[in-house]
Amino acid sequence: MKLRTHVITGFSLAVSTALYTGFDATGAFMLGVLGGVVNIVIDLPGHKYRRRTPWSHSFLGASLIALVVYTIIYILALMEPSSVDIVAGNELASYISVLAASWSHLLLDMVTEGGIFPWWPFRRSRLRLAMLNYDDPMANSIAILASVALLLHAVGVAGEDLWRELFVHWHSVRLAGGASHSSHFQS
């Protein structure tokens, strides 16, 4: 699939997973950004001569990339104490949100003609569930629409408290000139 499809799907899945596991809007949004970033990182080393390399397009490789990206961001968050509460107390749920985003990359690439190497390094066989071209406009549109539908469902489940929090947080950021120290994690 196209990179924008991976990024939108990764963002939507990470935000949805975070909202379903109790994160507030800010924490879910930050994890969504990580979900988008991890999808970009998977493709950085993952294509050699327009073909996917096994190590980044396997469940093990994508999981390790998600762990490395998550760990780097977590360490950076520790250096800025006001941002640690994005993941503090719920590190496993945070990582699962980013992991879900990374696996979405594999699931999307499974339906392309290039496929993925799901069990690398144990088996080097390629898995294809369909033979779609990576830039097929219909396939990319369907994936994006499904991702947006999932995101809207998650926001709907989070309810009006989420909308109130978003409005209050963004309004306070605007009034404070861009700085806000509101809590990022809903206990």
Within a domain: 137: yes
Contact 120, 46 (CB under 8 A): no
CB 52 within 8 A of CB 116: yes
Find residue 51's DSSP bridge partners: 48
* Whole-structure pTM value: 0.79
| Peptide linkage before 121 cis (omega within 30 of 0) | yes
Position 37 scores a pLDDT of 93
180 inside domain: no
Q: Tell me what pLDDT residue 162 has.
A: 65
Task: With beta carbons less than 8 A apart as the criterion, state whether 92 and 67 touch.
Answer: no
Question: What local confidence, expressed as pLDDT, does residue 177 receive?
Answer: 55
Number of domain units in the chain? 1
In a domain, residue 183? The reply is no
- CA 182 from chain center: how many Å? 23
The answer to whether the beta carbons of residues 180 and 171 sit under 8 Å apart is: no
Q: Is residue 169 part of a domain?
A: yes
Residue 185 lies in a domain: no
Tokens of 1: 């699939």
Q: How far apart are the first and last CA of the chain?
A: 37
Q: CB under 8 Å to 165, separation ≥6 — which residues?
A: 24, 25, 26
* Residue 89 domain-assigned (yes or no): yes
Report pLDDT digits (tens) over 38-77.
Answer: 999 998 875 655 566 788 899 999 999 999 988 888 887 7
Most confident of 26-30, 107-111, 114-118: 107-111
What is the rounded distance in angstroms from the CA atom of residue 82 to the CA atom of residue 108? 35
Cα atoms in the Cβ-side hemisphere of radius 13 Å centred on 14: 31
What is the extent of the structural domain holding 94? 3-175
